Structure 1
Amino acid sequence: MMSNSAILPAGVSKEALLTELRRLSWGAADILRAYARGEQPPHGFQKALSVDNGGEGPVSAADLAVNQWLLEGLSGAFPDAGWTLLSEETAKEQLTEGEPLPAEWLWILDPLDGTKDFLQGTGEYAVHLALVRGNRPVLGVVLLPEADELWIGLVGDGAWCEDREGTRSPVRFSQREELSDLLLVASRSHRDDRLEKLIGELQLGGSKAVGSVGCKVATILRGETDLYISLSGRSAPKDWDMAAPEAVLLAAGGRFTHADLGDLTYNTGDVRQAGCLIASHGKAHVALGERATRAMAEIDPGFQV
């Protein structure tokens, strides 16, 4: 186990931070659920049009409201923490291509991961909060508003799920270890021929489609599935898509790496998480990486996994 001083900035206690993260997370859940239903959101945020109207209106309103809620909450609760706050919504103003932010401690936030699912009403959307030190995550929060699940992970100090009453449930990885038995959780919308070929080459036991990276990783944490693969094409996921889910998975004892087993890195000056990325419960991670690397060399020669 890491000591508290090893994973948090000086002057920030673990319990005080977790208490605030709970408050902010459930507040974000209430905001998003209200917008998703076309109801009046709490905490003084403006009501948006019903999601039935589609377009950017309700999504932008929900995104911006949760973004403001999280940024103001973290800044107000810990004014002297010395960390920097970055979110998907502020990235254009904060970031310069090729230049990492000058921050030892950096929050990377995604106020709404899974916008298509939010609009379509599947319930498979999430809120991501990750605290990164250097280039690696040390703490992650993945909130699933519609499932009333709050996944929290401190790398080196464990991971668990909480409900609104604070009742904790442990991570329950499956016992499946053979590649032919493993179940894949895949994206509904970010799929192409290369990914279909890769999945075929891995010869897994089955798959299910789920929205939002946070929701996908939660299925691994519950033991419903065993791995998730991200294969970048014309676009790639960003730091705020991956940092929080990775932190929770790592804290639980799982793995989230490139196919060549290289670490994901954050705040590098390039927010794209390109390549072939594999998240898993860890039991067959090396074998998965090796098979995926060999397969990609045939499917897309020269592709940097």
Structure 2
Amino acid sequence: MMPTAMNLPAGISQDSLLEALRPLCWGAADILRAYARGEQPPHGFSRALSVDHGGEGPVSAADLAVNQWLLEGLHAAFPDAGWTLLSEETAKEQLTEGEPLPAEWLWILDPLDGTKDFLQGTGEYAVHLALVQGQRPVLGVVLLPEADELWFGLVGDGSWCENRTGQRGPVRFSDRNAEGELIMVASRSHRDNRLERLIAALPLAGSKAVGSVGCKVATILRGETDLYISLSGKSAPKDWDMAAPEAVLLAAGGAFTHADGRPLSYNTGDVRQAGCLIASHGKAHAALEKRAAEVMQTIDPGFQV
């Protein structure tokens, strides 16, 4: 069966949307790469890389510049679009705890996922854009500036990677699917004893530490790893951390769920994506869910996966 065109707000075509997103994303890459190298950013942004270490994590001038670039760019490209724009940097002003935004169509943006990695110079940072209808993503974009990779995912219609010239490359999931073969990608900065115990209890061939969630999911899409687990503790990832990577992975045929099989939901009135979340190439996903849920009942009885 041929894939059908994705559902979009009235008056917006898939082609026009993708054509608008490409220059916006590569412009964001240019801004971030300039800041990362101590160079003058394009598009008139200040060269000073100031950093605010308050709140839940650092916010740099690079976060704010890309946030402005993306929001203004989407407004300019689609001034009459029937959607709402939400980003990590505007959430405090836009959101009221316990109340979803009154929007059928919602963009959820993270202008710089992996700010700590960006500031530390690991190169493992990303830009996330996700278009959500209701509480589920229909489109995801994950930009990896240092790798010159722009991942698109149209849920129900496939995923692919583009470089700056527009050349496309396919998703390349690994063939690993048996116990003892799988390779896990885990967080470098958000780890605790429970996660270490969970990793040790799973039938894995190995694991590697990577920064941004977008970078982690890209390793699955390239076939370098097979699964990623997020385990919330004192803090939890937010909607803008997960929506775009989930969309790209789902569109590729992978899976991203809670350990009890529940799907992730967005714009619920609570932006936290708490619990034990599993992303994978999908080939052994049900077995991973079952094993992780069982292990968590031993490690942390009563934990809501």
TM bracket (short chain): over 0.9
Aligned length: 301
Partners of 1:227 and 1:219 lie apart in 2 by 9
Query: Which letter maps to 1:39?
Result: E
Partner of 1:192: 192
**CA shift at 1:79, angstroms?**
1.1
Partners of 2:52 and 2:120 lie apart in 1 by 12
Cα shift readout 1:86-107 (whole Å, capped 9, x = no counterpart): 0000000000000000000000
Cα shift readout 1:212-257 (whole Å, capped 9, x = no counterpart): 0000000000000000000000000000000000000000000000
Helix, strand or coil at the partner of 1:43: coil
Partner of 2:64: 64
1:138-287 equivalences under 5 Å are: 138-287=138-287
Query: Which letter maps to 1:160?
Result: W
Partner of 1:82: 82
**CA shift at 1:56, angstroms?**
4.9
Partners of 1:56 and 1:13 lie apart in 2 by 40
Q: Give me the TM-score of the superposition, normalised by structure 1.
A: 0.96
Query: Which letter maps to 2:64?
Result: L
Query: Which letter maps to 1:60?
Result: S
| Residue 304 of structure 2 is aligned to residue 300 of structure 1 | no
Partners of 1:103 and 1:222 lie apart in 2 by 34
Helix, strand or coil at the partner of 2:204: coil
Gaps of 5+ in 1: none
**CA shift at 1:3, angstroms?**
3.0
Larger helix proportion of the pair: 1
Partner of 1:113: 113
Cα shift readout 1:23-49 (whole Å, capped 9, x = no counterpart): 100000000001111111001111114
Query: Which letter maps to 1:103?
Result: A
**CA shift at 1:7, angstroms?**
2.3
Cα shift readout 1:187-210 (whole Å, capped 9, x = no counterpart): 111111101111111121100111
Gaps of 5+ in 2: none
**CA shift at 1:59, angstroms?**
4.9
C-alpha contact 1:179 1:288 (8 A) present in aligned 2: no
C-alpha contact 1:229 1:276 (8 A) present in aligned 2: yes
C-alpha contact 2:52 2:60 (8 A) present in aligned 1: no
Cα shift readout 1:170-192 (whole Å, capped 9, x = no counterpart): 00000001131000001111111
- When the two chains are superposed, the root-mean-square deviation of aligned CA atoms in Å is 1.4
Cα shift readout 1:56-99 (whole Å, capped 9, x = no counterpart): 59952101110000001111101111100000000000000000
**CA shift at 1:55, angstroms?**
6.0
Query: Which letter maps to 1:294?
Result: E
Helix, strand or coil at the partner of 1:19: helix
Partners of 1:125 and 1:169 lie apart in 2 by 20
Partners of 2:28 and 2:283 lie apart in 1 by 34
Moved over 4 A (4+): 54-59
Partner of 1:45: 45
Partners of 2:202 and 2:13 lie apart in 1 by 44
Helix, strand or coil at the partner of 2:151: strand
C-alpha contact 1:151 1:248 (8 A) present in aligned 2: yes
Partners of 1:178 and 1:250 lie apart in 2 by 21
